[in-house]
Amino acid sequence: KNQVEQSPQSLIILEGKNCTLQCNYTVSPFSNLRWYKQDTGRGPVSLTIMTFSENTKSNGRYTATLDADTKQSSLHITASQLSDSASYICVVSASRGSTLGRLYFGRGTQLTVWP
């Protein structure tokens, strides 16, 4: 069964600290993995997208890693800011060659940054 599991479900950190969010998946055949940031009541915004051959990708203070062998990804946030408070969603796509594949969404990790 194709699934995407994220941990922790929620996380509270102090401003300026670093944190790491985890995403484990069982989606096959794997096409790509994305991390989205979703502020409360707003649409998700893409942070990174990684294919099978990429194992690290950065976007400012956000760094995503991908281990396709263990089917794990992490999102590391450096020097957190109050504006980082949001839900972070891991999305994995499965591809069937040239035909349209499927997207599998994690439930998200709710990050709260306190001053």
Partner 1 sequence: DSGVTQTPKHLITATGQRVTLRCSPRSGDLSVYWYQQSLDQGLQFLIQYYNGEERAKGNILERFSAQQFPDLHSELNLSSLELGDSALYFCASSVSEGLGEQFFGPGTRLTVL
**In whole angstroms, how close is the CB of 4 to partner 1 at the nearest point?**
9
73 lines the binding site for partner 1 (CB under 8 A)? no
CB of 107 to partner 1, least distance (A): 4
Q: Compute CA distances 102 → 3, 9, 31, 42, 59, whole Å.
A: 11, 24, 10, 23, 25
- Give the residue, chosen from 8, 10, 20, 102, that forms a contact with partner 1 under the rule CB under 8 A: 102
Show the DSSP H helices in 2-70 as ranges. none
Question: If binding is defined by CB under 8 A, does position 83 make contact with partner 1?
Answer: no
Binding residues vs partner 1 (CB under 8 A) = 31-32, 36, 41-46, 49, 89, 93, 95, 100-103, 105-108
